[in-house]
Amino acid sequence: MRNLKLVIEYDGSRYKGWQKLGDNEWTIQGKLEGVLSKMCGEKIDVIGCGRTDAGVHAENYVANFHTTSMFSEDMIMDYLYEFLPEDIVVKSVEEVDERFHSRYNAKSKTYVYKINNNRVRNVFNRKYVYQIEEKLDIDKMKQASKCFIGTHDFQSFTTLKSKKKSTVRTINYINFIENNDYIEIEINGDGFLWNMVRIIVGTLIEVGTKNLKSENVNKILDKKKREEAGPIAKAKGLALRNVEYV
């Protein structure tokens, strides 16, 4: 049995996220499994490095699957390129150790949130950035972002309802990349809760628009109540940038 690792790029605009939902084919996982099962002549289960929500994109999503087929990596790449929708591209196929698991072996993930801080929207990237007309105070946002670095209970920053699952996570760094009125917020951590990145960004935006003081972010973390944090930033601005492995 072979174990093949995929690196995937996708535009999540018209999909309901990564994870397949019953018989619903409008998921990234569902599309990949359908094409691979047809190619390999057997039922293929694709293991993803994690969930992405409806409308969220990926630059380098990592997945793997097991198969008895002997198609070469290049043949699989070509087949996927031909038969997958144009908004999903497999960038690489690599045979890996049978024990490799795209989710459990991940050391950290990097997400990027893209903002157009301009009065006028850009028609060419409007599906992939969140436009904010009000001028953001980036220095205040950077100051507030430092509160998230390290290991914390992020219960205030998730829509996860289950009380059985731990809400403790570690954020390694948050970078701000500025290019005129375009801002990218990179967030790297050991794992992320449901909607965690988007709520962190939504809270930083509240700081940037001066609706929230940067020094209050620590208090929001301590209160462990979702209603204390900022709104969920729009899905279209978020993309999984990288997955790092040991």
Catalytic residues: 53
Q: Would you put residue 45 in left (φ > 0), alpha (ψ -120 to 50) or beta?
A: beta
Distance, CA of 123 to CA of 216 (rounded, Å): 36
State the residue for tokens 């699957």. Answer: 65
Instruction: Report strand pairing: 47-48 vs 168-179.
Output: unpaired
Distance, CA of 194 to CA of 65 (rounded, Å): 24
